[in-house]
Amino acid sequence: MKSARNRSLAEIASLVVILTLIIIFFSQASPIFLTQRNLDNMLLDITTVGILAVFTTLLMIGGGLDLSVGSTVALCGVVIGALQGTWGILPAAAFAVAIGALVGLANGFLVTYVGINPLITTLGMLSIARGLAFVFSDGLTIPVFDSEGTQFDAYNTFTQFGEGQVFGIATPVFIMFVLFILGLLILQFTSYGRAMYAIGGNAQASQLAGLSVRRYRMIAYMLSGLSAGIAAVLLTSRLYAADPRAAPAMELTVITAVVLGGISLAGGKGTLIGTALGVLILTTLLNGMKLLSTSTDAQNIAQGVVLLLAVGLDQLRTRDINWTAWLRGSRLMPDGTKAIAKGD
């Protein structure tokens, strides 16, 4: 509908404005903010969040939620560190990606077939994956480089993931772009993307239309875990180390960015363009604060505030509230449906 499209355009436009304001502010406040070096660094820093955000977007449009991505990144990194000696670095990396997918599959199975609430399932998985990461690493950071000098070529290749360049762009950034474009194509042109919107919009109706709701959802969770595996490979390669403490509270950053970008917690709506802007706004904000030597505590607080603001806005956007009535306590939406009897 014209109006619906205008509205999402307006949302995108307002995000662009916010981003611009943040950039102007920090470029005034900090002389190094706009330097090439800082921008390059920032882009590299974004990659983990960015990659996770692409698949979190798919998942959340389908009405899912995954809080375990941060811990899964740590677990997958540790898997590389622990297996590099016996398996060789490249097989270890491939295996780590598979582990990520497996974690996602487990989430998906528990949510869709066992029927545990996604919040609880992935909160549990958050704890499990982080715990396993500590177990496999004995709580220590594992160096990941050719310590014995026997796999020179393999390590060389592995390092390329984090430090190499493709078409003049840092490999992790390049991979993020590729995944982002892939996500865009999936959402725009494939039945899988369409299924996400349909299921997130009204799972019951989708089921009755003959869609395999469970399978689609399973796959979304699996992709989310898989993306954590990919992010882990890039991160480990870039840092020459696997840290069980890696990606702390990353799920929070990802979800904040995604919701800020217009993905609804209820599912069924949003775009990857919005997500991209959400990621940029949030990471720019955090990066700028870092440059101004704000404490991490303040950054955490800022992130929390942004999350609550974004979710609050999301509520207002989806409700389409008749304000006079709302202030007087009525929860009728203007199309006459009551918020509680919502169709899903």
Partner 1 sequence: MLEMRHIRKSFYGVKVLDDVSINLYPGETLALLGENGAGKSTLIKILNGDYSRDAGDVILDGVPVHFAEPRDAEGAGIRMIYQELHYAPELSVAENLLLGRLPHRQGLLGWMIDWNAAREQAREALKLLNVNIDPMTKMRDLSVVEREIIEIVKALSRKARIIVMDEPTAALTPPEVQQLFGIIRDLCKQGIGIIYISHRLDEVFQIAQRVTVLRDGKHVDTRPIAEMTHKALVHMMVGRDIEERAEVRKGTAAIQLGDRLLEVQGLAKTGAFEDISFHVRAGEIVALFGLLGAGHNILTQTIFGIEKADSGNVHIGGHPVQVASPQDAKRAGIGFVPLDRKVNGLVLGMSVQKNITLSNWSTLAPFGIFRPKKEMHNTRHWVDKLGIRMAGGIETHTRYLSGGNQQKVVLARWLEANVRVLLLNEPTWGVDVGARSDIYDQLEALAAQGLAILIVSSDIEEVLTVSHRILTIYKGHLTGEFMQSEATQENLLHAAAGGTL
Which positions touch partner 1 (CB under 8 A)? Answer: 1-5, 189-192, 194, 197-198, 201-202, 204-212, 268-269, 322, 324-325, 328, 330, 332, 334-338, 340-341, 343
**Nearest to partner 1 of 145, 189 (CB atom):** 189
Measured from the CB of residue 217, what is the shortest distance to partner 1 in angstroms? 13
Q: Report in angstroms how near the CB of residue 256 gets to partner 1 at its nearest.
A: 23
Nearer to partner 1, 149 or 329 (CB): 329
Closest CA to 144 of 161, 132, 131: 161
CA dist., res. 188 & res. 335, Å (int): 28
Length reported for the chain? 344
190: left (phi over 0), alpha (psi -120 to 50) or beta: beta
The closest of 274, 256, 253 to 183, measured between CA atoms, is: 274
Quote the least distance from Cβ 233 to partner 1, whole Å: 27
Amino acid at 301: I
**Dihedral sign for Cα atoms in the order 299, 121, 182, 162:** positive
Q: What distance in Å separates the CA atoms of residue 239 and residue 323, rounded to the nearest whole number?
A: 51
Nearer to partner 1, 174 or 192 (CB): 192
CB of 344 to partner 1, least distance (A): 8
Cβ proximity to partner 1: between 163 and 344 the closer is 344
- The distance of closest approach from Cβ of residue 197 to partner 1 in the complex, given in angstroms and rounded to an integer, is 6
Residue 81 or 201: which CB sits closer to partner 1? 201
CB of 317 to partner 1, least distance (A): 12
Between 217 and 269, CB nearer to partner 1: 269
Contact partners, residue 271, CB within 8 Å, separation at least 6: 8, 12, 187, 261, 262
CB of 342 to partner 1, least distance (A): 9
Closest to partner 1 by CB, 141 vs 318, is 318
Q: Residue 312 Cβ, how far from partner 1 at the closest point, in Å?
A: 20
Contact 2, 9 (CB under 8 A): no
How far apart CA 10 and CA 20 sit, in angstroms, is 15
Q: Is 249 left (phi over 0), alpha (psi -120 to 50) or beta?
A: left
* Cα angle 226, 77, 93; round to 5: 70
**How far apart, in Å, are the Cα atoms of 287 and each of 29, 40, 43, 274, 283?**
12, 12, 10, 20, 6
**Cβ closest to partner 1, residue 165 vs residue 337:** 337
